[in-house]
Amino acid sequence: MDFTPFTVNVPQAELDDLRSRIAATRWPDQIPESGWNYGANIDFVRELLEYWANGFDWRKTEAELNAWPQYTTTIDGQKIHFIHVRSPHKGARPLVLLHGWPSTTTEFSKVIGPLSDPVSHGGNAEDAFDIVVPSLPGFGWSGPTREPGWHPGRIADAFAELLEGLGYDHYFVHGGDYGAVVAGQLALRHPERVTAIHLTFLVTGGRRPEDGEATPEEARLEADQAIYNATETGYLAIQATKPQSLAYGLNDSPAGLAAWIVEKFNSWTDNGGDLESVLTKDELLANITTYWLTQTAGSAARLYYETAAGGMMGPSAERVETPTYVAVFPKELYRTTRRIAEHHYNVQRWTEQPRGGHFAASEQPELLVDDIRSALRTVGVDRVEDVTEGARA
């Protein structure tokens, strides 16, 4: 497998075009004092776009991205971009970090360093990992996809091939959102390679008839889920059925793209009513600008369509027997209980976190790093010490 070193280097003309499009935004109306009730708050989006055009420094973000070794390769006809950070500590174990929608690899910018070089971040060398962070096909620098069929199973197969090419026979996988779905598929399709998975997001079918009455906690979670399903899943219906219609607006309008994405970050983070208390404008725009510059908002949305078309929407019919470690953040989208989760996953550890939402690596990086370290510290896996330089990017 050939790996090509990759550097983010966006032509200035593209950044100038972005600013001119922001300046030409034709703004919609909004009912006064309606906040986020109808969707993205116009006051917040206006402020965000003003900063995007006149304050946000993409070149700084670019430099931060390029601080990590990045590569591209082609697997199954699709370009795959990935970050590969080898730990300075001997015996570091391989860990794959998988993002979802509407994230990119920027979601993990705060955890790559502590996980790969724990000693420099107050930890211990025995907790060191070699880190691989792929962009999902169709997302960011791995996109867009050019043919149908890129569902989570196919993505899992591509990533298994990538990791084999990097010389990793066994590895851990962490995932949230679609990253958790792909992690589950990796465990199901390549169980001989995936030693354990660590998840912040679970796909379960809910309580079964044979489970009997709901526990008080399950009853509360089911009520919360009913509200979420009724008020927060319009995006899913659109992206799973007509993503192409949506793509025109997302690809042509910076305001449209920003509003579509930032509304989810506002709804899905544990922010107490103040999004910027957990994510700065720079962090939000690093993610949004990646979609804009790579023109992948449409192909990223298309993952939902491909998942539905592939019959993979919802829990797998097979139980994941790979040891599974779960960090439960209180504002995660789909909450369940351990007894229900164990129908679908071989749960070895279930840790309730004190705060955090759907984007744990961005919102609460310290909590996530600590949970990954604690969960995987004693899992039996041979430490990777003899992989040759020629086999690794």
- Give per-residue pLDDT as tens, 3-49: 999 999 999 999 999 999 999 999 999 999 999 999 999 999 999 99
* Average pLDDT score over residue span 254-269: 98
Q: Check whether 386 has a pLDDT greater than 50.
A: no
How confident is the model at residue 286, as a pLDDT? 98
How confident is the model at residue 1, as a pLDDT? 86
Average pLDDT score, the chain:
95
Catalytic pick among 304, 305, 325, 345: 304
Q: Check whether 80 has a pLDDT greater than 50.
A: yes
Over residues 345-358, the pLDDT tens digits come to: 999 999 999 999 99
358 is catalytic: yes
Task: Reduce the secondary structure of 101-154 to three states and give it as a string.
Answer: CCCCHHHHCCCHHHHHCHHHHCCCHHHCEEEEEECCCCCHHHCCCCCCCCCHHH
**Burial of 137 per CB tally in 10 Å (0-12, 13-18, 19+):** buried
386 is catalytic: no
For the chain, give the percent of residues with pLDDT over 70: 96
* Average pLDDT score over residue span 304-309: 98
More confident residue, 205 or 28: 28
Over residues 271-287, the pLDDT tens digits come to: 999 999 999 999 999 99
Catalytic pick among 84, 99, 198, 358: 358
Write down how long the chain is: 393
How confident is the model at residue 380, as a pLDDT? 66
Q: Check whether 133 has a pLDDT greater than 50.
A: yes
How confident is the model at residue 378, as a pLDDT? 83
| DSSP type of residue 213 | S
CA-to-CA separations, 54 to 28, 176, 275, 302, 308, in angstroms, rounded? 21, 32, 20, 31, 40
16 is catalytic: no
Q: Are residues 307 and 288 in contact, defined by beta-carbon separation less than 8 angstroms?
A: no
Catalytic pick among 177, 178, 190, 305: 177
Q: Check whether 383 has a pLDDT greater than 70.
A: no
Q: Check whether 389 has a pLDDT greater than 60.
A: no
* Average pLDDT score over residue span 362-381: 92
Q: Check whether 385 has a pLDDT greater than 80.
A: no
Please tell us whether the domain made up of 4-21+37-206+214-391 is placed in CATH 3.40.50.1820. yes
